[in-house]
Structures are given as C-alpha cells and as structure tokens.
A and B are shown apart, each in its own frame.
Chain A
Amino acid sequence: MADLIWEVFRQERKGQAFVHGGSFHAPDRAFAEAYAREFYARRQESVALWVVPREEIMAIEEFPDEFDLKYRRVDGYSIKARLKEARERAGTAQS
C-alpha cells in the first residue's frame, strides 16, 4: 500500500522564501493536493505551496571542515596585527 509522507513548504506572501510548514500522509498526488490546500491554505495564509514526497528530499546534516576552508569566510582573516604593523611603518598609526 502506498502511504507516503509529504512535506509542505509554504510561501506567505509573493516574493518571500518558501518555508517548511509541516507534513502529512497521503496515498497519491491528488490526495496530497487536496490535503495541502485544506491544511495549509484554508485561511488564505499561503499564496503558494510546494508539496514534496519526503523520500524525494535529500537531507544533508553533517558539514565537516576537514580541509580548513575558513579562507572562504570573513573569520578566516585576522588583519588586526598586520594592519597595526603597516600603519607603524607608514607612520600613520594613531596614538
């Protein structure tokens, strides 16, 4: 028997990001559409819905930083000491 779990992503207003709203059981697309409309839009609280079978979603939850990739981020750069030295050399350091 097909008893799938569907995940719902809803957009509250045009232009906004879709946000996960919840999930429900439905046997097929037709039921999934009806339930999604009923559960997530019956008060006009959504302008659009994305309804996806859960098994089609790939979840990625581990983000190891084995190669120390912090040069991609602002916290990879500590310029304080170098800036101080550069200013001293140039004679522009503020006392």
Chain B
Amino acid sequence: MDARTQEFLEYVQAGGQVETDDWMPDEYRARLVKFIEMHGNSELMGVLPERDWILRAPTLQRKLALTAKIQDEVGHCQLIYRVVEDLGKPRERCLDDLLSGKSKFHNVFHYPTKSWGDVGVIAWLVDAAAIISQKALLKCSYAPYARVMKKVCWEESFHILHGRDTVLAMVTGTPAQFELVQEALNRWWTPLMHFHGTPIPAEEDPMFVWRIKSQANEDARQQFLDGYVPQIRELGLEIPDPKLRKDEETGVWEYTEPDWDELMSVVTGHGPASEERLAFRRLSRNEVDWVAKVVLAEAA
C-alpha cells in the first residue's frame, strides 16, 4: 500500500469523511460504487414484491399506504443512483448491469410473496433489518452517501410501523388470518437471518476497513434479534428455529447456522423469483423507453 493510500485509510479509520471531489484510492471508489449501486438496485427491485399487492390490498387505506411506500423506495433508488453517478458510473449503466445480472440486489427481493401475510412480514421485519443497516450507514466515511441516508431513514420510519400494524390487524383477526402471518414468518425467517450477511469479523471485512460500513454483519444481526424476537414472540407467533435463544450471561443470541451457500446462490440470481423479477424490470424499462426519448427530445 502506498503512502497516500495508507494516509487515506488512517483518515477514514479515525472517523474522517470524504467528499466527491476529494482524492480517493481506486479500491475505495470501486467498493463504494459496487456497494451503493447494489443498495440502489435493491430499492428498485424491492418495490416489485409490493407492487404485486397494490391491486390486492384488503382496504383502501392499505392500498394508499403501500403505494406511498413504493413511491418512497423508487425515490430512494434515484437518490442513491445519483450518488453512484457522481462517483463515475452513469444511471443507465447501473440499469444495464442490473438487468443483465452483472450487478446484484438484496437477497430478500429474490423470493416470491404468497399472501398478504408476506406483505406484513416484509414491511415489518425486512424493513426493520434494512433500517438497522441503513442507520449504520449514517456514519459512512463517504459523506454524500451518509447525507442521502438521512433522508432515506427519515422516510422509512413509517414503513416499519405500517408493517407492524398490518401484522397486528391479522394476528388479532380470525385464526385463518393469524395462520397467514405464521406461514409468512416461516417462509421469511431464513432470508431474514441471511439479510446481514455472513458473520465475517469486522477487521476482515473490507467494507468495515474502509469505514463504508460502521458495524460488523453479526452485530447488525444481533441488534435485529434483540429488537424484534421479543416483539414477534409477544404476538404468540413461533419463530421456526428451535435453537434460537439468548444467552443471558453473554447477552448473545444463539441460532441455527443459516445455509450461507443458499444466500450466495440467491444473490447471484438463482433465487426462486430472481428471473421473474428481472424479466418484469426489463419489460417496464422497454415499455417506458419512448417516454424518456420523447421528453428529452422535446427539451433539447
């Protein structure tokens, strides 16, 4: 490592922040682009499972809330892609790489949604897991990204509550409704345990070394379990992991080791809904292509 890179590394590790026009090592820039682009991709792909339920939402209020949430998430995608663009990769290329499978999106968006119970569980627990990661990004060494996360976190604050409210309505409804939530929880538990990634120690995680992320994967997962396991259990729902328990002495949650190969396979585009979601995204990009062309031609 050359002296300038070493100095940069020490600067970010001491809590220093970097702006777009500042000098940065190529590796740092490349890692930022890859990570932030995947975040943008995930916001965009994350609306597809929810979109499927706009027409099937049980009440007008739920339909409006779901639509508002989707608008927020597409807005987050455009904000986050802007950060990537300023680092040197244009939005059109981000979309090309997403649609060709060259870049990734988050594991949870590769799975299908089977019932309205899934919508509640996703909005509550997937968003809760996401907020933990996003809050940690408020301290990202790359300042433009950290600033965007402020707006994202603020807008997402209603999402979790909307999800929890949806779940509460169902668990206080008929036994069939309760069962829909339990089934959804069973389906989503593994993806939720995968969500924060493999338990790689912080010092070995390049994302932490460069202070792009400010916490270890396992710390994020522990924070999720600490916050949400009690909230799930108090509703009478059962978490499908017989080994899940908190060691009262160490305060650490123990759980069945998730299948990390499954996570790898899913995020590389081999999840149960990966192909269908990408196909739909391709279709909508082709369908609206003429709009952009007309608008830009008129403005020229």
Q: How far is the CB of A6 from chain B (nearest CB, A)?
A: 10
* CB-contacts of B261-300 with A (<8 A): 295-300
Is the Cβ of B296 less than 8 Å from the Cβ of A1?
Answer: yes
In the complex, chain A residues whose CB is within 8 Å of the CB of B147: 20, 22
Q: How far is the CB of B139 from chain A (nearest CB, A)?
A: 19
- Given the known A-B contacts A22-B148, A24-B82, are A2 and B21 also in contact in the complex, defined by CB atoms under 8 Å? no
Is the Cβ of A22 less than 8 Å from the Cβ of B299?
Answer: no
Query: B151 touches which one: A1, A22, A24 (CB < 8 A)?
Result: A22
Nearest-CB residue, chain A, relative to B144: A22
Is the Cβ of B82 less than 8 Å from the Cβ of A22?
Answer: yes
Nearest-CB residue, chain A, relative to B86: A23
Would you call B91 an interface residue if the criterion is a C-beta within 8 Å of the partner chain's C-beta atoms? yes
How many angstroms from the CA of A25 to the CA of B295 in the assembled complex?
A: 12
Is the Cβ of A23 less than 8 Å from the Cβ of B82?
Answer: yes
The contact size tier of chain A is 20 to 34
- Given the known A-B contacts A21-B151, A22-B148, A22-B151, are A28 and B82 also in contact in the complex, defined by CB atoms under 8 Å? no
In the complex, chain A residues whose CB is within 8 Å of the CB of B295: 27, 31
Is the Cβ of B299 less than 8 Å from the Cβ of A28?
Answer: yes
Would you call A61 an interface residue if the criterion is a C-beta within 8 Å of the partner chain's C-beta atoms? yes
Q: How far is the CB of B78 from chain A (nearest CB, A)?
A: 6
Would you call B79 an interface residue if the criterion is a C-beta within 8 Å of the partner chain's C-beta atoms? yes
Nearest-CB residue, chain B, relative to A42: B71
* CB-contacts of A1-54 with B (<8 A): 1-3, 5, 20-25, 27-28, 31, 38-39, 42-43, 45
How many angstroms from the CA of A32 to the CA of B270 in the assembled complex?
A: 39
Would you call B75 an interface residue if the criterion is a C-beta within 8 Å of the partner chain's C-beta atoms? yes
Nearest-CB residue, chain B, relative to A59: B21
Q: How far is the CB of B220 from chain A (nearest CB, A)?
A: 25
Nearest-CB residue, chain A, relative to B148: A22
Q: Mark B91-110, 1 if CB is under 8 A from A, else 0.
A: 10000000000000000000
How many angstroms from the CA of A45 to the CA of B157 in the assembled complex?
A: 14
In the complex, chain B residues whose CB is within 8 Å of the CB of A38: 75
How many angstroms from the CA of A52 to the CA of B226 in the assembled complex?
A: 45
How many angstroms from the CA of A2 to the CA of B299 in the assembled complex?
A: 6
In the complex, chain A residues whose CB is within 8 Å of the CB of B151: 21-22
Q: How far is the CB of B131 from chain A (nearest CB, A)?
A: 17
- Given the known A-B contacts A22-B79, A22-B151, A61-B21, are A27 and B299 also in contact in the complex, defined by CB atoms under 8 Å? yes
Q: How far is the CB of B18 from chain A (nearest CB, A)?
A: 13
Query: B91 touches which one: A22, A25, A31 (CB < 8 A)?
Result: A25
In the complex, chain B residues whose CB is within 8 Å of the CB of A24: 78-79, 82
Is the Cβ of A3 less than 8 Å from the Cβ of B296?
Answer: yes
How many angstroms from the CA of A15 to the CA of B297 in the assembled complex?
A: 40
In the complex, chain B residues whose CB is within 8 Å of the CB of A39: 75, 78-79
How many angstroms from the CA of A38 to the CA of B151 in the assembled complex?
A: 14
How many angstroms from the CA of A43 to the CA of B155 in the assembled complex?
A: 9
In the complex, chain B residues whose CB is within 8 Å of the CB of A21: 151
17 contacts between A and B (CB under 8 A): A1-B300, A5-B82, A5-B85, A20-B147, A21-B151, A22-B148, A22-B151, A24-B78, A25-B78, A27-B295, A27-B296, A27-B299, A39-B75, A39-B78, A39-B79, A42-B71, A45-B154
Interface set of A (CB-CB < 8 Å, partner B): 1-3, 5, 20-25, 27-28, 31, 38-39, 42-43, 45, 59, 61
Q: Give 8 nearest A-B pairs by CB, closest first.
A: A27-B299, A1-B296, A2-B299, A28-B299, A2-B300, A1-B300, A23-B82, A27-B296
